[in-house]
Amino acid sequence: MLANAALFAALADLIGVYGEDAVAKMTTGLTRRIHHGEFTLKRTSQ
């Protein structure tokens, strides 16, 4: 819950500074980055 609140606050702040269109454009690539493990802290090598 704390992480979700932090993400919400961060996105709200970004939108306040840069606007909805800029933040939407920035977050478009998050799905690909998450699937490629860019934010995974513990990885298992095979």
Amino acid 2: pLDDT: 96
Q: How far is CA 15 from the centre of its chain?
A: 13
Query: In residues, how long is the chain?
Result: 46
> Is 46 inside a domain boundary?
no
Q: How many domains, in total, are found in the chain? A: 1
- Domain ranges, residue 16: 2-35
Inter-CA distances, 37 with 9, 34, 41, 43, Å: 23, 5, 8, 8
Inter-CA distances, 19 with 2, 24, 36, 38, Å: 24, 9, 27, 25
Amino acid 43: pLDDT: 76
Kindly report, residue by residue over 6-34, the tens digit of the pLDDT.
999 999 999 999 999 999 999 999 999 99
Q: Which amino acid is at 28?
A: T
> Is 9 inside a domain boundary?
yes
* SS3 state of residue 36: coil
Work out the pLDDT band at 5, boundaries 50, 70, 90: very high
Q: What is the pTM of this model?
A: 0.73
Amino acid 7: pLDDT: 95
